[in-house]
Amino acid sequence: MFLQSGKYYHIYNHANGFEKIFRNESNCHFFLEKYTFHLSVFIDTYAYCLMSNHFHFLIRVKSREEILSGLKKILDVGEFSTPPASQTLPKFQTSVKSLQPEELREKQIVQIPDFFQAAKMSASSRFKAYEKITKKYLTLIEILKSAKSSSEADAFIEHWISRQFGDLFSSYTQAFNKQNNRMGGLFIKNFQRKDVTSDEYLRTLVVYIHNNPVHHGFVNKPEEWLFSSYSEILNGRTQFIDLISVLRWFENPENFIVCHRNTPDIADYSLE
């Protein structure tokens, strides 16, 4: 299930059983926030659609260089912040010493960067996420500095990305279960992915994903569905969609609209 750098993928998953993954608008907003937090460093996103019991994303896994640059950016020092008490804190402070400015090292304060401060989670959860990503980043740096082959670094990143998806589904499920007084898994264990192997398939997937609510009979036009990237791309208001690339694939907004008038038949690739 590992996702390789530089490749495009159609990512999708269903509810585990006949339940709804998204019961209201706040669930959708929360899932997209978690998606951005866990995956924006590792992937580019071109289209998405959240349905009540499944979802679709069209993504590209970033190159190793792009991922390293993104990791360095989110691990930059931000505002002063003293983390909550933790038995593992002294060891962690030592491990991140190279990432902290000298004045903070002297004061024995770990400074949590803005990316983590802005995350909508508890202070302890933000610190744990920062600690986890920092440790993995330092491990990756050590792999790259050693005499080991570059393929080992790529394998490490591929496994890391897979775990980020797992963390996304796990954190969402925990919050969903707490909100709805339920227990157990919410998603099918292994999320599905299909390689995107041609430009034609790339454009077809964008149209298919946006027309998924039309295909299932929930709306008559893709712009009527609230939780997809269709309107975001046309309105130019999006936080994580690479709308410039998408519109370039369709040449212009007018052709983008024309191509969405019918749902394409991609039975060989879709998850019904």
pLDDT in tens, 24-34: 999 999 999 99
Which stretches in the chain have pLDDT values below 50?
Answer: 77-90, 104-105, 107, 269-272
| Structure token digits, residue 211 | 């027309």
Residue 27: per-residue pLDDT: 96
How far apart CA 259 and CA 261 sit, in angstroms, is 6
Q: Are strands 43-50 and 8-14 parallel, antiparallel or unpaired?
A: unpaired
Q: Report whether 114 contacts 73 (CB < 8 A).
A: no
Predicted local distance difference test score (pLDDT) of residue 266: 63
According to the model, what pLDDT value does residue 100 have?
55
Q: What local confidence, expressed as pLDDT, does residue 150 receive?
A: 83
- The topology under which CATH files domain 8-64+182-259 is Alpha-Beta Plaits (3.30.70)
Q: Distances in Å between the alpha carbon of 270 and those of 2, 112, 209, 217? A: 19, 41, 9, 16
pLDDT of residue 81: 42
Query: For the chain, which residues make up each domain, given as ranges?
Result: 8-64+182-259, 77-161
